[in-house]
């Protein structure tokens, strides 16, 4: 039995709005043992900052206890946290890196 097209039976396209995915801040936390130079290296290597910007973020971590390295999608932020944590561990530094939902 062939399908016959009858007038008025077409579905109108629905317009749905998708919310953008939540973004996450990657944050370095201060400690009393990780050298400032190492923090700058981490910021340059994993967050692609130039020396001046990396130094500014490092000083924020040092003086305020925390500094935002960037804002990323959940998967990218999670990967960066793991990369920084592993890199610090390999170099025997207790540097902590966390992610927080960007509000």
20-78: pLDDT as tens digits? 899 999 999 999 999 999 999 999 999 999 999 999 999 999 999 999 999 999 999 99
Can you tell me the mean pLDDT for 1-27? 78
pLDDT of residue 1: 55
* Prediction pTM value: 0.82
Confidence of residue 15 (pLDDT cuts 50, 70, 90): confident
Q: Is the dihedral of CA 52, 60, 68, 94 positive or negative?
A: positive
Residues 6+ apart with CB under 8 A from 58: 36, 39, 40, 43, 67
CATH pick for 27-101 out of 3.40.50.360, 3.40.50.300, 3.30.1390.10, 2.60.40.1180: 3.30.1390.10
pLDDT of residue 35: 97
Going from the C-alpha of 12 to that of each of 3, 7, 15, 45, 80, the distances in angstroms are 19, 13, 9, 51, 44
Contact, 67 vs 27, CB < 8 A? yes
Stated as kind and residue range, the H or E segment containing 76 is: helix 74-90
Asked whether residue 5 carries a pLDDT value surpassing 80, the answer given is no
């Amino acid at each position: 039995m062939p399908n016959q097209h009858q007038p008025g039976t077409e579905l109108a396209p629905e317009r749905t709005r998708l919310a953008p995915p939540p973004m996450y801040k990657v944050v370095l936390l201060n400690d009393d043992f990780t050298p400032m130079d190492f923090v700058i290296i981490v910021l340059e290597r994993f967050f692609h900052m130039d020396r001046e910007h990396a130094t500014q973020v490092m000083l924020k971590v040092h003086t305020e206890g925390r500094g935002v390295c960037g804002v990323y999608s959940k998967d990218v932020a999670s990967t960066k946290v793991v990369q920084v944590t592993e890199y610090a561990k390999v170099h025997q530094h207790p540097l902590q890196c966390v992610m927080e939902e960007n509000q």
